[in-house]
Structure 1
Amino acid sequence: MKTIEIEDDLYHYIAAQTRQIGESASDILRRLLLGEQQVSPSSVKSSPEALAEHATPATTTGRDNNPGSIFDLVSRQDLQAESSVVGRFLYLLSVLARVHKKQFSKVLEIKGRNRLYFATSAEALSEAGSSTNPKQIPNTGFWVITNSNTTRKKMMLTETAVKLGYSEQDAERIRDLL
């Protein structure tokens, strides 16, 4: 097996093309480059551990008729590729945005007592508080503050998941991915 280096945006694109639980990057690339008939079904993991890493939301109303959920697109390997808490936070938010395109604007309702957490521009977050360190959620038109501590980021992920229709239990599982 050979190792290649790819840029983060390409890696995220490949990960977004996952169709089955446990599908490896090699399987995804083989399918994309060589076609469906070249994918070996034996290469897809179906162990209880691999299946346990994934679940579906308790309700499908927040899934925009998308056949997947965040658990279908995020793996431990994806998260380990992000070296910082902020990177993992932005990555998880971007996957939630991809799965829930039509509803993701609900994040704008999530606010602190004296601070905005999400906005549609960096300026809006900067005007709403000092040292917010706004970052754009990848592949979206939304921005989020990133200077909060990890506990606050986990709370923001939990609230986001609940707003998007996940059960409290699955929202906690998403939070724990951070």
Structure 2
Amino acid sequence: MTRAAGADGVEGVRPLPRQSAVDRRPNHAEIENRLTEELASVVAGARRRALRDGDRQIDTAHLLHTLLESDPEVRAVFAGPQVARLLGYLVQRSIGYGLRWQVGVEDAGAAPGVPGTPGWSPVAARSMTQAYACAVRRGERLTHGVDLLVALVAATGSRAVEVMGAVGIDVGAVARRFASV
């Protein structure tokens, strides 16, 4: 049985669909090349925290935890007692509460079958990409901590959003605060 050759002269082979720059998952070097020095330090801290906690990937809670510890601009978004409650909850998670999270990958809203970014949960990698897009919209070349916070707050169903909700933070109010930015 013979088939007619396609327009490109190749029989029976369909071209692979092209991914746009927005749809394509960045690798970890692409993510980290888009960061200010301060945010690169946050990512390094999140990576150390994930390894210390026995997690296979950096997730949004690791990012939120290190971001709160390292970035005064991010801490200023929350009222004083909220920062203490967030950090307290995140510390509890790192010393044992998070064991239930080690069982699986944080994948809230991830497209099934789409390859992820090694070392990152699908949601954390997507949040980093969205943080960069936020910076670009502001005319910046590099991603700042507040850009990442905006992306984390928007990551509905993520571990970071779960943590914020658990300590009584109105994630919608935080998101609205940045809607005009």
TM-score strictly above 0.5? no
More helix by share: 2
Question: Which structure features the higher share of strand residues?
Answer: 1
Higher relative contact order, chain-length normalized (CA < 8 Å, sep 6+): 2
Structure-1-length-normalised TM-score: 0.28
